[in-house]
Structure 1
Amino acid sequence: MPITLIITEHFFLMGGNEMLENGFLLLREDSSLTSPISMLHYEFYNDLDELKERLSF
């Protein structure tokens, strides 16, 4: 596992945040558009209109 992944994972887990990992990428449910190196943010939407509103900058 890359050192940046290990450091990022420990930093967020110390804060009590839940996340998924697969050995090279951390997945975290978060609505922010930017994420740290080696992490991918995702979120769920209830309907298509909510998604369209979120994607229109």
Structure 2
Amino acid sequence: MGNQKISQDMKYTALRMWESGWDLDDICSVLVVSPSSMYRWRAILEEFGDVN
């Protein structure tokens, strides 16, 4: 997969999907992101109130 620039909107969308009950593997498959990215974005959001 390699490093890529993922928009703030995509990150928020992915996190909202996860919060609304989507399965993590399904989100990662549909949006082509890694589970580790999802966990990192959630941690950043919780700590700083923003995903970037």
TM-score between the two structures when normalised by the length of structure 2: 0.36
| Structure with the largest fraction of strand | 1
Instruction: Decide which structure has the larger Cα Rg and report it.
Output: 1
With a CA cutoff of 8 Å and minimum separation of 6, indicate the structure with the bigger relative contact order: 2
| Structure with the largest fraction of helix | 2
